[in-house]
Amino acid sequence: MSNLNNKKTSNINQSVTNGGRKKLLLMGRSGSGKSSMRSIIFSNYSAFDTRRLGATIDVEHSHLRFLGNMTLNLWDCGGQDVFMENYFQQQKDHIFQMVQVLIHVFDVESTEVLKDIEIFTRALTLLKKYSPDAKIFVLLHKMDLVQLDKRQELFQIMMSKLRDTSTAYGFPEIVGFPTSIWDESLYKAWSQIVCSLIPNMTQYQKNCKEIANIMECRELILFEKTTFLVVCSNEMKYNGDNNTAGLISQQQQQQHNGLDPKRFEKISNIMKNFKQSSVKMKSSSFKSLIMRNSGIYVCELTSNLMCFIVLKDPSQQEQLVLNNIKRIQKYFS
């Protein structure tokens, strides 16, 4: 392993264009699980805790700082028909202006699929008018309620239907995810949604790759610290547009290195659980986790990034690895 000191890796900060405020609309019919998602990803709820959540009245705003310079304004729009009507009529310019991302949630168990889609189209029409550049994500939620062998098929049918609808309303590129709060699929979806908002993603990826090579990592993953969403890794491209090929490329990847294709989300899940349990020790969060004999290092990189490193050769000197981690900090600060 060579020392990182003399290597040239461009600093993330130089290419930062101030991301500023991002407006995310979280929409969907009442009871589809919007607030539950939000609470799990951004407020450290466990899936079990979301039972206590009541109906959202009107719009609930939350402001989240992400990766330092980016602010996510999440508009959690209550989904009861009264509120919905209100959004589409009186408040339409207020709600649909300056939207970066629309996240539309569909309950797979819903009995009124046509009505769900109708609301989706109404939202798309207004979005076309007020913020035509918005990205659209659809989440087929509560997938855990569908039988295992039918999930894939159901998802395909629903997605082709939704894609047709959205193309007709002027948004040809929508991205869909099957999600459930009871497994790691939720983290995958939100990672990709949030990553699509990061302006200097290519820089992150480039740095990640170079550092992984220099440190001889089997894997290097960057996580956002509070939410534990995956920012990028040395292997996968983490942005939305290659999603249609996502399934195939993941299978190839698995054959390629023999690793679990869902490992990113699983790590998010594991680490987040651990973070919650460490709160019981009257500590806000954990700082580092080192598994020396298997070459796994999880460390704070900056005030908002965690790195997750798996070495090719676990017998490397611990101190050397830690020193290198200290050195790469400056490329991400």
Partner 1 sequence: MEHSSSSNTTSELTTADDSKATILLMGLRRCGKSSICKVVFHSMQPLDTLYLESTSKPTTEHFSTLIDLSVMELPGQLNYFEPNYDSERLFQNVGALVYVIDSQDEYLNALANLSMIIEYAYKVNPKINIEVLIHKVDGLSEDFKLDTQRDIMQRIGDELLDLGLEGVSISFYLTSIFDHTIYEAFSRIVQKLIVELPFLENMLDNLVQQSNIEKCFLFDVNSKIYVSTDSSPVDIQTYEVCAEFVDVILDLENLYKSTETTGFMDKEMMGVSKLNNGVYIYLKQMIRGLALVGLIRTNTTGNNNNNNFLAVIDYNVDIFKKGLQEIWAHTRLNKQNQISTSSTFVDNTNDPRHNLITSSNI
Task: Return d(Cα 68, Cα 326) in angstroms, integer.
Answer: 19
Cβ proximity to partner 1: between 157 and 291 the closer is: 291
For residues 179 and 140, is the Cβ–Cβ distance under 8 A?
yes
Cβ proximity to partner 1: between 244 and 250 the closer is: 250
Cβ proximity to partner 1: between 130 and 286 the closer is: 286
Distance of CA 169 to the CA centre of its chain: 26
DSSP state of 143: G
The verdict on 282 binding partner 1 (CB under 8 A) reads: yes
Among 283, 320, 323, 326, binds partner 1 (CB under 8 A): 283
Cβ proximity to partner 1: between 36 and 56 the closer is: 36
Distances (CA, A) of 60 to 6, 31, 38, 75, 137: 49, 15, 11, 6, 19
Q: Which helix (H) or strand (E) holds 299?
A: strand 296-302
Token pair of 302, please? 């900056």
The verdict on 99 binding partner 1 (CB under 8 A) reads: no
Q: How far is the CB of 166 from partner 1 (least distance, A)?
A: 36
Piece in contact with partner 1 (CB under 8 A), picked from 115-123, 154-162, 242-250, 281-289: 281-289
Q: How many residues does the chain have?
A: 333
Please report which residue ranges of 98-221 form alpha helices under DSSP H. Answer: 113-130, 151-168, 185-195, 201-215
The verdict on 281 binding partner 1 (CB under 8 A) reads: yes
**Three-state DSSP class for residue 198:** coil
Q: How far is the CB of 109 from partner 1 (least distance, A)?
A: 18
Q: How far is the CB of 227 from partner 1 (least distance, A)?
A: 17
Token pair of 263, please? 């490992």
Q: How far is the CB of 204 from partner 1 (least distance, A)?
A: 22
Among 6, 89, 284, 303, binds partner 1 (CB under 8 A): 284
Among 5, 293, 303, 313, binds partner 1 (CB under 8 A): 293
DSSP state of 108: T
Q: How far is the CB of 163 from partner 1 (least distance, A)?
A: 33
Distance of CA 60 to the CA centre of its chain: 20
Find the binding residues for partner 1 in span 124-163 (CB under 8 A): none
Distances (CA, A) of 37 to 24, 46, 272, 279, 328: 14, 10, 14, 21, 33
The verdict on 291 binding partner 1 (CB under 8 A) reads: yes
Number of residues engaging partner 1 in binding (CB under 8 A): 33
Give the pairing of strands 20-28 and 70-77.
Answer: parallel
Find the binding residues for partner 1 in span 254-273 (CB under 8 A): 258-260, 263, 266-267, 270-271, 273
Among 219, 222, 231, 301, binds partner 1 (CB under 8 A): 219
For residues 41 and 230, is the Cβ–Cβ distance under 8 A?
no
Among 286, 302, 327, 333, binds partner 1 (CB under 8 A): 286
The verdict on 320 binding partner 1 (CB under 8 A) reads: no
**Three-state DSSP class for residue 306:** strand
The verdict on 325 binding partner 1 (CB under 8 A) reads: no
Q: How far is the CB of 318 from partner 1 (least distance, A)?
A: 8
Q: How far is the CB of 42 from partner 1 (least distance, A)?
A: 20
Reported as half-sphere exposure (CB side, CA atoms, 13 A), residue 128 has a value of 13
Which spans of this chain sit near partner 1 (rule: CB under 8 A)?
A: 218-219, 258-260, 263, 266-267, 270-271, 273-274, 277-278, 280-294, 296, 310, 314, 319
